[in-house]
A and B are shown apart, each in its own frame.
Chain A
Amino acid sequence: MTAEAVAIETVRRRRSAFRFAAAPLTWIGAALIALIIVAALLAPWIAPYDPLEQSIADRLMPPSAEHLLGTDSFGRDVLSRLIHAARISLAVGVLSIALAMVAGCAIGITAGWIGGWFDSLVMGALDVLMSFPSLLLGLMVVAMLGPSLEHLVLAIAITELAPFARVARAPTLALKERDFIEAGRALGLSELRIIVVHVVPNLLGDVVVVASLWLATAIRTEASLSFIGLGVKPPTPTWGGMLREGFETILDAPWLSVAPSLAILATVLALNMIGDGLRDAVDPRLRRD
């Protein structure tokens, strides 16, 4: 056997995390998101005021030392509302994306795996879904079910099903032709096990990238729906809701709309930076050495 002993070269595994870390924009995005998450989690402790406490005497105050971002038309502290709103916005975004990811991947993988007319049918239906502007689609769902936090999550998840289904289907089509899938069958693995153990891990990278990019869209959609009054019911603060309230007095008190806009902008931008970084990190063309 000695003659057959093989010299194993130590090929260092190029860690994708290494390249992820190398991009400065990605780090800025990550830091920003970390800051927003921490602020949201610690909202009751770091917010200077109760976000729901009204004070007619202090209404529509411009930014000052007392109220860093001013007050709204009910005299509530804008900074406190902004910090509390981050909780709702992030929660709605993350929950809806998680839902869209699980359901979308299940649809995409099933369609790709079964193939044939079933695949054409499912992907055609998703194309129809995708042809609706996401705001309009969300609006229809919420209008049908009635505005509530759960329905908002569901509505946003439905608008973002299609991209996940697409991104999961394409690699499934390629993977099912690969020899290691056939090898799995020859070894007597069940179809379910082949999908869960051998297909899903190979497309997870792409899916996570899409998730981070679409999380930004989810937060935007939440804000848009809240802006037109179909989101979370007042007085619970959300960024979109604050934007709408601020819009009514935009000429008298512009800070009311500027503050939530900037919060949305910062979150969306940061998520996109992370998404780009992740995409580069999992791109197989960049990974090959």
Chain B
Amino acid sequence: MTEPVLAIRNLAVEFRSRDGWLPAVRGIDLDLAPNETLALVGESGSGKSLTALAIMGLVPGPAGRIAAGSSIRFEGEELVGASEKALDAVRGNRIAMIFQEPMTALNPTMTVGAQIAEAIRVHRGLGRDAAWRESERLLDLVKVPSRRRRMHDYPHQFSGGMRQRVMIAIALACRPRVLLADEPTTALDVTIQAQVLGLLEDLKREHGLAVLFITHNLGVVALIADRVAVMYAGEIVESGRVEAIFAAPKHPYTLGLLGSTLRIDRDIEALQPIPGSVPAPGALGRGCAFAPRCPRAVSRCETEPPPLEAVAPGRLVRCWMPA
């Protein structure tokens, strides 16, 4: 495996509540290599989006914070505790992020061309004309049709899929090495989703991007991921190569997610939903966080939290009773 461009160790994010600081992300390790798509999978409340925000240094304070002992290294440089200035040089620059709803991230009163050009001028110090030409090139790159005209359009004149392309163009404006994509296609129609996923795949390959793709959709994961990390209640419960995970899921939660996912290509005799719901950060027991919903749980699971252990090369599982 190539040297990781992003290495996360023991990342913990906490939120303040009336009962003190509650852990929302509880000590996760992730490595992301160039030209690789790592899918971070989980349901709402799993901590997957917070992980991305932590990497960007965007954990909303003062109610939230990255806990002591966390480490996020980008090309060997520590980001946790780095100065605001050092962070600015990395975030939005070498690490870019795209979101589920691009409309909220775009300025409604500026033309799309002006917004991309602005990003280029801020991050790359190009002049006005050069930045404008570069914006046109980027819109070409993300395959926005009739771009010369569209440069002068405002965000509301774009469809959801086109807006997401604009966001990707802005993210690429500063030639990032890492792209954090937080559910970028969840709000899109399937045909548009396929287009945007195809675009991301092309860009990854052409630019050697490292993509952290956050999603709850296992179908999308199967489509684009090289590796997968499944999160539950703020922890990684299983990770490995995408083929291995889908062929033989080891953690009961991964199994449950797959059992809950319907397929368009196949009849499923009976759905096997996971009973119950995701625990609140303050309501975790002593043992495995998944134990209360787990069909395989034994008494040990209630009392002792399982460690994340290698069960095969490149394959980690956090379970006392793996399948």
Closest-by-CB residue of A relative to B280 is A9
Contacts of B283 in A (CB 8 A): 9
Contacts of A186 in B (CB 8 A): none
- Residue A197 at the chain B interface, CB threshold 8 Å: no
Nearest CB in chain A: distance from B6 CB, A:
33
Contacts of A3 in B (CB 8 A): 273, 275
Contact B280 A5 (CB under 8 A): no
Nearest CB in chain B: distance from A60 CB, A:
60
Docked pose: A5 CA to B277 CA in angstroms: 10
Contacts of A5 in B (CB 8 A): 275
- Residue A6 at the chain B interface, CB threshold 8 Å: yes
Contacts of A7 in B (CB 8 A): 276-277, 292
Closest-by-CB residue of A relative to B17 is A289
**What secondary structure prevails in chain A residues at the interface with B?**
loop
Which 3 pairs from chain A and chain B are nearest by CB?
Answer: A7-B276, A3-B275, A9-B280
Chain A, residues 49-87, CB within 8 Å of chain B (1/0): the string is 000000000000000000000000000000000000000
B positions within 8 Å CB-CB of A: 273, 275-277, 279-280, 283, 292
Count how many chain A residues have C-beta atoms less than 8 Å from C-beta atoms of the other chain: 6
Nearest CB in chain A: distance from B227 CB, A:
32
Contacts of B277 in A (CB 8 A): 6-7, 9
Docked pose: A256 CA to B283 CA in angstroms: 65
Contacts of B275 in A (CB 8 A): 3-6
Chain A, residues 1-30, CB within 8 Å of chain B (1/0): the string is 001111101000000000000000000000
- Can you sample 14 A-B contacts with CB below 8 Å? A3-B273, A3-B275, A4-B273, A4-B275, A5-B275, A6-B275, A6-B276, A6-B277, A7-B276, A7-B277, A7-B292, A9-B277, A9-B279, A9-B283
Nearest CB in chain B: distance from A10 CB, A:
9
Nearest CB in chain A: distance from B291 CB, A:
13
Docked pose: A35 CA to B263 CA in angstroms: 70
Contacts of A9 in B (CB 8 A): 277, 279-280, 283
Closest-by-CB residue of B relative to A5 is B275
Docked pose: A188 CA to B273 CA in angstroms: 34
Nearest CB in chain A: distance from B21 CB, A:
16
Nearest CB in chain A: distance from B98 CB, A:
26
Docked pose: A9 CA to B284 CA in angstroms: 12
